Amino acid sequence: MGESASKPQRPQTRPRPRTPSPPQISPRPPTPSPPPPPPEFDKPWRIMRGDKDSLREELRNFKLCSSDVKFVRLLIVGEVGAGKSSFINSVNNAFQERITSRALVDATSGTSFTKIYKTHHIKGKDGSRLPFVFNDIMGLEPADGQGAHVKDIISALKGFLEEGYKFNPVNPASENDSNYKTNTKVSDQTFCLVNVLSANKVSLMDQKLIQKMKEIREVASEYNLPQVVILTKVDEICPLVKQDLMKVYTSKKIKEKHKGKVNLPGSHKGIKMKWIPD
């Protein structure tokens, strides 16, 4: 037998060196977000003079120095739905120490519920009248021909409107009307202009409405009348205050609104601002 042919051997391949895999880097944990700032200050940003009981007693014992003036008259003005009548009721509640509703309120209507010029006497717990009264008027609206006419409010400011005068958004009272006083007494005139604003609408106020308020406040300034701004419904803009009304003056949110008062009509004239819930 002849020799069998030998098969050619395959060349041996060297194993390729393994490429080292990159080191596994564990992802960094996300940086935690900083905690939100606390909603209130450690200390009240405004210190009130005395407590409510001493202030209430001081007003109960208030005496007028002139026999010609029986009451200090305060005129309440503001936009429809701002809480003018509710504010009057709040004051009356505080002095009678019970819930009252001398000034009727309508929270559902988009138009003014107050239609006539009316004097609201504040009574004490024993039923006696205190020496100051509030005059509630028809609410202001931005559009002409709607809400209280600016001329009517100025007439009320000067004491020209008779009790029970029915507001007319189009035709304000004039000297020829039976409900217009031509000879006014000191007791008929306004001693303080109270501007009531809703906290949840201050930044949304229409420029036409602002202009109307400015006209009224300029007349009040000409007569050197004290003016104050009451900011209502503060509990609707701050959850902290909604939970505890005593935190009004520690709330940062309310403090921001206080800073924003410079944008209110005429507030550059040193108008003081107060806060009440609705």
Domain boundary assignment for the chain? 52-58+68-195+202-220
CA atoms within 13 A on the CB side of 69: 16
Q: pTM higher than 0.85 for the full model?
A: no
Choose between 8 and 182: higher pLDDT: 182
Assign 72 a pLDDT band (cuts: 50, 70, 90): very high
Choose between 69 and 4: higher pLDDT: 69
Q: What is the mean pLDDT of residues 209-221?
A: 93
Query: What is the average pLDDT score of the chain?
Result: 82
Q: What is the mean pLDDT of residues 156-166?
A: 94
Assign 56 a pLDDT band (cuts: 50, 70, 90): confident
Q: What is the mean pLDDT of residues 49-55?
A: 78
Q: What is the pLDDT of residues 231-273, one digit of tens each?
A: 888 888 899 999 998 888 899 888 887 766 545 554 444 455 5
Q: Please, what's the b/e burial string for 71-102 (b: 16 or more CB within 10 A of its CB; e: otherwise)? A: bbbbbbbbbbbbbbbbbbbbbbeebbeeebeb
Q: What is the pLDDT of residues 113-129, one digit of tens each?
A: 678 999 999 988 788 88
* pLDDT for res 273: 55
